[in-house]
Amino acid sequence: MTLWLAKRKPDPSPALQLACRAQHFRRWEIPRDSYPMTRPGYLTWRAKQKSQAAAQLSELLTSPEIQPPLSQEEIDRVAALVRKENLKNDEEAQILEDVACLVFLDDQFDDFEKKAELDEEKIIGILKKTWAKMSPAGHALALQMDFSDRANTQSLLSTHDFASISAKHMSPKTYAFVSSAATDLITHRLNTSIYSKILLRPRVLRDVSRVSISTTILGHAVSSPIFVCPTSLGKTVHPEGEKEIARACKELGIAQVISTSASFTVEEILEAVKDSHPHPRQPRSGNDNKSHPVFFQLYVDKDTSKSEALLRRFCNPLPSGHGLSAVFLTVDSPVVGKREADERVSLPFTPNTNNLINPMTNASPTPDKSGASLGRTTSSFLSSSLTWSSTIPWLRQTLPPQTKILLKGIQTAQDAFLASKTPGISGIVISNHGGRNLDTSPPTILVLLEIHKTCPEVFEKLEVYIDGGITRGTDIFKALCLGARGVGIGRGVLYSLGNGYGKEGVKRYVEILNEELETTMRLCGVGGVEDCHGGYLNTRAVDYLVPGRGYWGEGGNRSGNGEDGDELEGAHPYVKWRRRTGGGGESKL
């Protein structure tokens, strides 16, 4: 709705924005057969629907949760728009009608094509009636519709196709939220482009008639080394959000990490997959037949008791019998990065009435003088006081003994090394938040190389995962050859979830990557994930960018015994200057 509203009326009033979002509020609660199956009966039924929706919306808009409260005049105006009163003389009511018709034309096109028996006469009649309701401005937009790239997901050949379609068809705010990255986007771009500088060294005359990409992630058998990264606010992309992602993951046989900022609770997401069928080729181990492997990503709340309550709720056995066996602790976000594209596009709705209240934290996006970023939804509760000495012991004590802890957001070899020395840590995720937090932080694949160069023993002590910039099967192969046990996809999953694709889009996206990975392995002479190693790569074009032990400080101290990593504070190989406090005096040349 917001996509077409933005095209039809770029600067809508707040009342029109609310009415647009709520136009189909509980639309089908009144059964059609409650009224005669005649044209007058239909019109009466539609009028009752509109009146009921307006009344329910008016009640919702008086909720004390909406701050500042709306005036009665504003509430009455929204209800009048939903009822489409005075349609001929009210410009906003006509705009709302145009938007509804455009959404209908946009959404129903593919459904008409898929029907086994195509009733062309009926379709033409419906389209004529729809056309008659629209204004000339609505007609102009309808004639600009392009369905050429909205075909069945099987026609999409690369992950880039999903991104291109999203740029055209997602609402401006949703696309800004999903695609945005920090400030000048340097890290965001390097995450992807650096992979192209690492070349492959294929071997020949190897029997690759059978290739397997199955592996294990944290002890769970999976059909692919791909896992779904934690993503926020899935509902902004698709009404079923993380539920649809979970359904796709179960049918694919891959792992999913659920975000603290998901649009649904963990219980709701797991409940949604009960009737989904597991991947037929997925290896089985333990209790994996209950669901696909599901883990929890934790943003620590300023009030740690709230985080403790979440962890105890999800990491102990749930009513479904499924407890989350691992927690991915996000450690790269003491604050939220500046994402200018997301800030610039205003919220086209009132957050409290648009299901953007996070069900696990009660946080919601709040526009302020800095902008209207959905990415800053977490800023209201995010703790910036996490430390090695206090946070890890606290988390270990809070969780059941069998629940594994991974640190998500490792960006240097020093911190990877410290993680390997810290009791209670089972793994790390090399991540820079998809380039969304600190611009010019290192692309993640270089951090993998840095660990090999300075502290390769980390790979023996921890399971190492990576995300950021992965768009091709060759990228996955390179990460596996450099020691990653699995690779995470985040932004791409949201692209594939949107545009009406839902579960099928996510499945197609992962299938494309799986197919490319298998092809890459065959062409390199590799039969299984366990056979990947650095000998298949030529990294000389990027080796000069990989820091050595000189950045670890004096002598490259690796004792791991300091308080909060102070012994690995870091140093520059030749810039020895340090800022000193006090002293005064003038500079002399």
Query: Could you list the active site residues?
Result: 299, 332, 433
Whether 435 contacts 187, CB under 8 Å: yes
Q: Which residue in 482, 531, 537 sits closest to 207, CA to CA?
A: 531
**Helices 39-61/72-83 angle, 10° precision:** 160
**Secondary structure (3-state) at 71:** coil
Cβ atoms of 410 and 433 closer than 8 Å: no
Enter the DSSP assignment of 368. B
Q: Are 2 and 348 in contact (CB under 8 A)?
A: yes
Q: What is the distance, to the nearest Å, from the Cα of residue 261 to the centroid of all Cα atoms in its chain?
A: 10
Question: Which DSSP string corresponds to 474-501?
Answer: HHHHHHHHTT-SEEEE-HHHHHHHTTTT
Determine the Cα–Cα distance for residues 456 and 155; give it in Å rounded to an integer. Answer: 42
The rounded distance, in Å, linking the Cα atoms of 532 and 586 is 59
Per the DSSP assignment, residues forming a β-bridge with 467 are 488
Contacts of 440 (CB under 8 A, 6+ apart): 186, 187
Of 354, 364, 297, give the one whose Cα is nearest residue 329. 297
Phi and psi, residue 20, nearest 5°: -65, -45
Task: Give the number of other CB atoms < 10 A from CB of residue 191.
Answer: 27
Q: With contact defined as beta carbons under 8 Å apart, do 489 and 510 qualify?
A: yes
User: Torsion-angle region of residue 169: left (phi > 0), alpha (psi -120 to 50) or beta?
Assistant: alpha
**β-bridge mates for residue 328, sequence order:** 297, 406
